[in-house]
Structure 1
Amino acid sequence: MMKRFALVMVLGLASSASAQDSVADVWKAKCASCHGADGKAQTKMGQKESIVDLTQPAWQKAQTDADIRETIAEGSPRNKKMKPYKDKLTPEQIDAVVGYIRTMKAK
Structure 2
Amino acid sequence: MLKYTTHTGAIALIAFSVSLTSFAQTSGADTYKAKCQMCHAADGSGNTPAGKAMKAHPFDSPDVLKQSDTDLVAVIKNGKNKMPAFTGKLTDAQITDLVEHIHSLQKK
TM over 0.5: yes
In structure 2, the partner of 1:63 is: 67
TM-score calculated relative to the size of structure 2: 0.77
**CA distance in 2 between partners of 1:30 and 1:10 (Å):** 29
Distance 1:75 1:35, change over 3 A: same
Name 1:86's counterpart in structure 2. 87
Alignment root-mean-square deviation, CA? 2.3
Correspondences of 1:1-107 after superposition (within 5 Å)? 12-54=17-59, 56=60, 58-76=62-80, 79=81, 81-106=82-107
Contact in 1 for aligned 2:75/2:85 (Cα 8 Å): yes
The letter for the 1-side match of 2:97 is: A
Q: Report the 3-state secondary structure (helix = DSSP H, G, I; strand = E; otherwise coil) of the residue aligned with 2:105.
A: coil
What's the CA shift for 1:61? Answer: 3.4
1:19 offset after TM fit, Å?
1.5
Q: How far apart are the structure 2 equivalents of 1:8 and 1:57?
A: 44
Report the alpha carbon displacement of residue 104 of structure 1 after superposing the two structures with TM. 1.0
- Structure 2: gaps spanning 5 or more residues: 1-6
How many pairs align? 100
Which TM-score applies when normalising by structure 1? 0.77
Gaps of 5+ in 1: none
> Is 1:60–1:105's contact at 8 Å kept on the other side of the alignment?
no
Report Cα offsets for 1:5-44 as digits up to 9, x if no partner.
Answer: xx98776554332112222221111100000111111100
Higher helix share: 2
CA distance in 2, matches of 1:101, 1:84: 17
